[in-house]
Structure 1
């Protein structure tokens, strides 16, 4: 008999407690929240602007060969420091050296032929002078009747032959000989260029980051085989919102902190501000150049900071709450807290700049912000 009574009594007490809690909860829900307020004012804010990003090389060069051939030696490996002009790869030159020797022999032959043509031209000149003198003497005798017409015709023919021989030796023959020399020299220059192209040199000071070929392998032209990065200057790549653009300019100095070296400070200068927003929205690309003494490497995360002063609508930092991916404040209208989504600019430990959502002169809750809800009744202390 006592078991059913006890069970009924337990149920009754449970229901009673639930109603009591609900009643108390309702009374607490309707109870005004005491808050302290502050007036949004148009004033100056001194703060530190911080930008975060990653250090990247100022320049990366992918190197390919202009010639095809087998690799006979490698000057450096991945991670090696190189100087401009250092030999990175040497290709086999045996075949090209043989062709060069043959071309040089061809040049010697062409020069010898040209010398023979010049000698022939000199001899033709002598023969022409002799034929001209004979013609002149015979002509005088012919005019005086001392020689016959056939004799005169004979010396005239000899003069014409000598003239033709000289013109050929001093004109087309010499041009042909000179052309042969020019062709031989062009072949030599072409082979020398090909041989030069078998030696692949670094175009800059930097560090080898990629090497995709080994000794004994053959490579083809225009295929990247080595990559070198110039780390003498590094760039911190980041983005800034359009609201911060007026605060920054190319050349402005910023203090750099490297996450891996928190106790060290570096100096950098803004080298570029993108004129067009990136695809993600109202942010612009920005690069800060940092002279590298050798202790920094690409890929490190870093932060750039700048002390600055801005003017605008300011509220206490404690008035701004976060939730649902948004920033908001509670504007106090008489005795009601109205939730207002805002866009926050710069801030420091005490004050936050409101770019959108609050006007100067409006009152915002500063205390018990986490306990407020939209249209919550409040009492102002």
Structure 2
């Protein structure tokens, strides 16, 4: 019995000793070894990479101004066209007939005008003759040589001749001239329609799409061709909002086309979007390059913008932890790690600039940061 009690006491002693050792080991393991570095105030150089596809600087859909049957196609997909070049022609038989009829109407109006002019001239001569007779009769009447009845008769003739003259040189002649103007306007309108039967390219470029065939009906509501100006290409991409202050429209930038890795193309920033894209935090950017090598639109490319920041708080990139859209560091104070949310600015492979959340000379952990937690005990190495 005594032996059994002794064995139990020895076992309990060993258990207590083991628990004590484990407790001490656990306490030691809570202290995390870290390296630290002080936040400094300096500038930082970085490079912003922009990737995307090259697209034509301008793409337009070509519509017909008329509804009509296509008589001829002058360009196909891949065709290079010049501004003003005919790419399709509509049938104009009906319009030509209308033009002939309009020309006949104009000729008729010109004849009518001549008749009206002749009538106006005749009315003028008649009115001048009656006016002279009227003046003589008036003098004779005043001297008592003619009766009042004769004077009234002459006055009536004078009034009739005057009205006939006014009508012939006024309304009738104006009506004839209006008929000529109307006929001429109709001719001009038909001629414009005949000209519009020639579908023209609005720019220098290449046909990238054709939606019409000979014999089909063209209408102003459906595009016949799509033509792209590929003399200049645009690299379309996005940049983070933190880099907006460092990128300007007109800024030079080197562009590399992925299928031509050994060649650098000189480009310029042609546009920076005035509003962030739907996801926020990123802005659209366009970089234009001259297409000197006839690069096909749609190929991928990338560009790099060298950036030099203003002087600010800078720490090693290894100090930054990003999680759930937040960036934070651990500030070490009296061997205790304090979690601090920061706003990160310009970064490169080794350093990052802190816009807010950290002061100069504060010490941040740069090793074992993923093992740290708020108020963790640390041992600075």
Q: TM-score range by the shorter chain?
A: 0.7 to 0.9
Match of 1:47 in 2: 46
Work out whether 1:222 is the aligned partner of 2:221.
Answer: yes
Match in the other structure for 2:98: 99
CA distance in 2, matches of 1:336, 1:164: 115
Q: Does structure 1 residue 130 correspond to structure 2 residue 149?
A: no
Over 3 Å counting, the alpha-carbon distance change for 1:376 and 1:168 in structure 2 is: closer
Q: Which moved more, 1:187-196 or 1:347-356?
A: 347-356
**1:260-279 alignment, distance < 5 Å:** 260-279=259-278
Q: Match of 1:256?
A: 255
User: Alignment length, in residue pairs?
Assistant: 357
**SS of residue in 2 equivalent to 1:299:** coil
Deviation string, structure 1 residues 220-242 (Cα, Å, up to 9, x no partner):
22322222222233322222222
User: How big is the shift at 1:212?
Assistant: 0.9
Pairing 1:309–2:317 present: no
Task: Tell me the CA shift for residue 55 of structure 1.
Answer: 2.4
Change beyond 3 A, Cα 1:266–1:136: same
Distance in 1 of aligned mates of 2:37 and 2:302 = 33
Deviation of the 1:343 alpha carbon? 5.8
Which segment drifts farther, 175-184 or 154-163?
A: 154-163
Structure 2: stretches of 5+ with no match in the other structure: 1-21
Contact 1:232-1:294 at 8 Å conserved across structures: no
- How far did 1:186 drift? 1.7
Alignment TM-score, normalising by the size of structure 1:
0.78
Cα 1:363–1:150, aligned 2, differ >3 Å: closer, same or farther? closer
TM-superposed CA distance for 1:177, in Å, is: 0.9
Aligned to 2:291: 292
**Structure 1: tracts of 5 or more residues without a match:** 1-22
Residues in 2 aligned to 1:65 and 1:155: alpha-carbon distance in whole angstroms: 67
Partner of 2:120: 121
Q: How does 1:20-35 map to 2 (within 5 A)?
A: 30=29
The match for 1:361 is 361
- Contact residue 128 and residue 163 of structure 1 kept, 8 A: yes
TM-superposed deviation, 1:380: 4.7
SS state at 1:73 partner: strand
1:351 corresponds in structure 2 to 351
**Closer, same or farther: CA 143–305 of 1 in aligned 2, 3 Å:** same
Query: What's 2:231 paired with?
Result: 232
Shift of the 301–146 alpha-carbon distance from structure 1 to 2, 3 Å rule, reads same
Q: Residue 318 and residue 120 in structure 1: after superposition, are their counterparts in 2 closer, same or farther (change >3 A)?
A: same
SS in 1 for 2:274: coil
Secondary structure, aligned partner of 2:102 = helix
TM-score w.r.t. length of structure 2: 0.78
* Contact 1:49–1:346 (Cα < 8 Å) also in 2: no
The whole-number CA distance in structure 2 between the counterparts of 1:89 and 1:102 is 26
SS of structure 2 residue aligned to 1:60: strand
State the 1:245 CA deviation.
1.8
